[in-house]
Structure 1
Amino acid sequence: MTSLSPQPHVSDEDRERGLKLLVTEAAFSGGAAALTTGVILTAFALHLQASNAMVGVLASAPFLAQLLQLPAILLVERLRARKRISVWSSVAGRLTLAAMAGTAFFTGTVPLAIFLAAQILLCSMNAIGGCAWNAWMRDLAPEDRLGRVFARRTAWLTAINLLLGLAAATALDMTAEGSRARDTVFAGMFAAGCVTGLISALIVAAMPEPLMPPSPGPVRLWQLLRQPLRDANFVRLLRFVGSWQFAINLATPFFTVFIVRQLRFDVSFVMVLSVVSQAANIVSLRLWGVLSDRHANKSVLTVCAPAYIFAIVAMIGASQFDNRLLVAGWLILLHLVMGAAVAGVTLASTNIALKLSPKGSATAYVAANAMVTALAAGLAPILGGLFADFFSARRLELLLRWTGPRGDLALPVLLTSWDFYFLIAGALGLYAMHRLSLVAEHGEIERREMVNQVISETRRTIRNISSVAGLRAATELPASLLRDARIRIRLARARARIEQRKRGSRQGRKVSGRI
């Protein structure tokens, strides 16, 4: 039987075995997440006739559960058994997926309450286990290989998430809404997620855990958070983070509800939009990383944050078009923009929090940033869900009329339900940008210059991957060699003429000397 106790000494062989298991485990934990979170979770809630308020609570649960990481720090410090905490919290959390699977065959308030309670418990266990997991992995993986190991793990997670997510959405589209077959599909997905999650816990139990170093003393949370809350510039950053997270999470958790219920698209199309957004996120991440290192994180935020806010507000356009193909294209375009923009916002906001943290106190500053993020991102969808019924019964109609010699042109604009949320999120996003302008960071540049840098880097990237540019470079290479050859020939001829003149002048001096 595998021991859950830490090891006083971890050999190189055990460490290598643990790193291989770390990558393998990603396939199972990623499978569980793909089948039970994100779009699938929201679709299951809608299948159970969940209200907008419940959808908001489901969206807020992962964020608010992160607040449990603070007491989890005390638990880890007291027990000093990170693997035991990770494994048992994982088992307890994944077993709730079995209860959620059982609710697929029932209707009413009780199944919805069980579904919601199970999701909250799952998120809570994930937060507690994640705290122990992060500290454990930091000691297990060598520092010089940390990036490579987790890059492979992330690649597995991304691939599994995309493939299983699309497969699950396709299976849902093959069944009729409200049918017994769809009940079975949802139950099967969450049951499979439970099984793969438990397999993940077994693999985690087989990984070695190095013994934690002796404790320097008791950890007091208030003392830990006191220093960042006294830093005026960091407090300004926290105000930006809080207002930003509240703005984007007021509307974005309801995108699936908006697209499925109001626009009448299938769940598979929502998954395609998710894939498009993730692809844009991955492709643009390197660009934002280069620009944030070269200039400043705040400069990246001044470009990415407005672009993301614009995309949220522009979602209103999807409800104004009558052509379904045009609506689909518009949604794909917006998700490309949001995927690229959120990559820059996430990277830059994390980096700036670390950059503004004094050396030796980064843990306290990052913890304060995480707390503000969890509170703002957790409260926003709850309030959004509570206000949803209010907006669903109201609408605002504007009529734009152009009158000219050749007649009149009328353009009606109708705002209903979620359109109000997108506008409110846009207004709150503008306020967040104002809070960002008050944060001081060394090395920041103006927004126009950053936009020029983005265009320049994008052109360089496109040139590198374009076949036309590749052919152009291939034809430019011989031309450059010819130019170099011509220059060398001209230099050789010039040197020969100079040398000839020198020889001529020396011969002239010799002749005059003889005379």
Structure 2
Amino acid sequence: MKRFAPLAEIDSATRERGLRILVMEAAFSGGTAALTSGVVLNAFALHLGASAAMIGLLASIPFLAQLLQLPAIGVVERWRSRKQIAVVTSLIGRAMLALMALTAFWGGAIGLWTFVAAQVVLAGFGAVGSCAWNSWIRDLAPDDRLGSVFARRTLWLSGISLVLGLVAALALEWTEPGTDARNLVFAVMFAAGCATGLVSAAVVAIMPEPAMPPSAGPVSLIALLRLPLADANFRRLLRFIASWQFAINFATPFFTVFIVRQLGFDLSFVMLLGVASQVANLAALRTWGTLSDRFANKSVLAVCAPVYILAIVAMIGASQIGDREWVRIWLVALHAIMGAAIAGATLASTNIALKLSPRGAATAYVAASATVTAIAAGTAPLLGGLLAQFFVERRLELVLRWSGPNGVFSLPLILTRWDFYFLIAGLIGLYAMHRLSLVEEHGEIDRRAMAYQVLAEARRSIRNISTVAGLRGATDLPGTLLRDARLRARLRQSQQ
């Protein structure tokens, strides 16, 4: 069809129109993601009665589906109409959201397995479409405009996600669990996600597509991955990525199950935690971007990754605190910390893979990184779901006891069910930090110096938005201590 035909030449006016549409389209694709993925997807599955193993399966599907991007390279090279591939796969995949909406009224095993099957189709076609989409947009947006275009697109995506996340939380708050009203809320969310997804496909269809350059011949997947695997430093990075992705995805997909089934909170509170995490993510993203440009991505990872892992382990505290209001405060604080930390970790882990890729071979290196990420992040929740029954039947009690003249003080620690997941994720995270320490990147600084830079950046931000001396002083003391410690360390090194 003519409207899907690639253009041999694109003038500046046509390109500008395409970039405006690209930014505008984010409102629709962002709406689909906000209403049908992440926390909403897990919440709907729990509402349908999904087991922990089913939650693990649902969490693994989007990651494992990304492996389809490798054979999709051959599809794109043969078809050579990236717009047509992106639109067709989007229409087929997002039509599954309508089927998932209907499962809200079916219930039982049929509804659950239909829900899972629809998610498989959605994720599979989405992965193939993403391969075509990424190549298409890379050719459409000029190199000197990529940053600004995607910054505006990210702003749309984040804004829509925040607004719709709050709307979803309020809708769930106003309905009782297990009622027809709650069924209707989930059905409306997925039906609306389907509608915005179809509109997104229609908007994408009017964007111009530059013609692909002449084919260089068939692509061998084995040859594609052989080059990065022969690079010793990049192999070390792949080991970090694998252990890091396994650690965080072994525990985080089950946060919703933990909060709803073990702690007894409603799904609406889980949605609000997601909003808090996203707000912190947005607030921290600019700071991490500045620091990753100024210093090495490894230095950003050396701060963000341990903080995120420690926050996962600290989720154990929610099951130890007796007062529910303090549990709420604890969970909100942890989700805010995780949102800020994962912003830097995601940005830096993506950038470091690009930075360590030699010029002219970035496709092979990024493909290797994406493959390792998909395998590690996909198998972790799958294994976690299968082990759920094992940990349900296990319990570990530790007692810290202090005896003195004034009596005995005891602090019990009882680990049950999902607490084990958070502890295991922390142990795997420690190994991931070890693997990161072996990666070499030009411009890296040590963790202590990076922590000082983070505090300095935060202090500058606070100074720009507040004139309250006490608020600025809260960051002055830690920054001074870190600076003095850094100078003392340098003095000791020079003396040695």
Moved more, 439-448 or 300-309: 439-448
Report how far residue 326 of structure 1 moved. 0.9
* 1:153 pairs with 2:140: no
1:289 shift after superposition: 2.4
CA deviations over 1:295-324 (Å, ceiling 9, x no partner): 322222221111111100000001111111
Alignment of 1:215-234 (within 5 A): 215-234=215-234
40-49 or 334-343, larger mean C-alpha shift: 334-343
AA paired with 1:419? D
Match of 2:357 in 1: 357
Residue 207 of structure 1: aligned partner = 207
Is the contact made by 2:168 and 2:271 (CA closer than 8 Å) also made in structure 1? Answer: no
Map Cα deviations across residues 330-377 of structure 1 (whole Å, 9 max, x no partner): 111111221121122112222221222111111111110110011000
Change in Cα spacing, 1:218 to 1:471, as seen in structure 2 (3 Å) is closer
Worse-matched range after superposition: 168-177 or 380-389: 168-177
CA, structure 1 residues 144+446, in 2 after alignment: closer, same or farther (shift >3 Å)? closer
Give the Cα–Cα distance (whole angstroms) in 2 for the partners of residues 463 and 141 of structure 1: 36
Runs of 4+ in 1 over 6 A off after TM superposition: none
Q: Report the equivalent of 1:467.
A: 467
1:191 alignment counterpart: 191
Matched to 1:461, the amino acid is S
Deviates more, 1:195-204 or 1:373-382: 195-204
Deviates more, 1:205-214 or 1:361-370: 205-214
Which segments of 5 or more consecutive residues in structure 2 lack a partner in the other structure? 473-496
Question: What is the deviation of 1:75?
Answer: 0.6
Q: CA deviation at 1:20?
A: 2.3
Residue by residue over 1:431-480, the C-alpha shift from the partner in whole angstroms, topping out at 9 and shown as x without a partner, is 111111221222222222222222222222222221236999xxxxxxxx
Aligned to 2:348: 348
Task: Return the letter of the residue paired with 1:20.
Answer: R
Find out whether 1:70 has 2:57 as its counterpart.
no
- Provide the residue aligned with 1:176 in structure 2: 176
Residue 34 of structure 2 aligns with which residue? 34
CA distance in 1, matches of 2:211, 2:456: 49
Q: Distance in 1 between matches of 2:351 and 2:395?
A: 41
Three-state SS of the structure 1 residue aligned to 2:468 is helix
TM-score normalized by the length of structure 2: 0.92
Paired with 2:258 and 2:5, the residues of 1 have a C-alpha distance of 48
Looking at structure 2, the residues matched to 332 and 275 of structure 1 have their Cα atoms a distance apart, in angstroms, of 10
Rounded Cα–Cα distance in structure 1 between residues aligned with 2:317 and 2:14:
56
Question: Any idea what the Cα deviations from partners look like across 1:464-497, whole Å, max 9, x if unmatched?
Answer: 221236999xxxxxxxxxxxxxxxxxxxxxxxxx
1:129 Cα deviation after fit? 0.6
- Residue identity opposite 2:20 in structure 1: K
Structure of higher CA gyration radius? 1
The answer on whether the counterparts of 1:60 and 1:378 sit within 8 Å (CA) in structure 2 is yes
How far did 1:392 drift? 1.2
Rounded to whole Å, the distance in 2 between the matches of 1:363 and 1:230 is 15
Residue 46 of structure 2 corresponds to which residue in structure 1?
46
Contact kept, 8 Å, 1:463 with 1:470, in 2: the verdict is: no
Aligned equivalents of 2:421 and 2:140: distance in 1? 45
Matched, 1:379 2:382: no
Cα offset, 1:202, TM superposition: 0.9
Q: Equivalent residue for 1:434?
A: 434
- Cα drift, residue 2 of structure 1: 7.0
| 1:104-135 deviation line (CA, Å, top 9, x unaligned) | 11122121111001001101111111111111
Note the alpha carbon deviations across 1:174-216, whole angstroms, 9 max, x for none: 1111111111111111111111111111111111112112112
SS in structure 1 opposite 2:340? helix
Identity across the alignment (%):
68
- Tell me which residue corresponds to 1:316: 316
Measured in 1, the distance between the counterparts of 2:32 and 2:446 equals 44
Distance 1:355 1:363 in 2: 12
What TM-score do the two structures reach when normalised by structure 1? 0.88
SS at match of 1:449: helix
**1:194–1:471: structure 2 CA closer, same or farther, 3 Å change rule?**
closer
Question: Is contact 1:93-1:122 (8 Å) kept?
Answer: yes
Deviation at 1:229, TM superposition (A): 0.5
User: How many Å separate the matches in 1 of 2:361 and 2:434?
Assistant: 27
Q: What amino acid is aligned across from residue 261 of structure 1 in structure 2?
A: R
CA separation in 1, counterparts of 2:118 and 2:186? 15
Task: Give distance in 1, aligned partners of 2:305 and 2:8.
Answer: 47
| Count, aligned residues | 472
Letter in 2 for 1:354: L
Structure 1 residues 145 and 443, CA, compared in 2 at 3 Å: closer, same or farther? closer
Q: Match of 1:486?
A: none
Give the direction of change, closer, same or farther, for the CA distance of 1:309–1:356 in structure 2 (3 Å limit). same
Unaligned runs of 5+ in 1: 473-515
Tell me the equivalent position of 1:505. none
2:165 and 2:272 in contact (8 A); partners too: no
Q: Is residue 80 from structure 1 mapped to residue 80 from structure 2 by the alignment?
A: yes
Once residues 420 and 239 of structure 1 are traced to their aligned partners in structure 2, the CA distance between those partners, rounded to angstroms, is 24
Partner of 2:254 in structure 1? 254
Contact 1:246 / 1:377 at 8 angstroms: preserved in 2?
A: yes
Aligned position for 1:455: 455
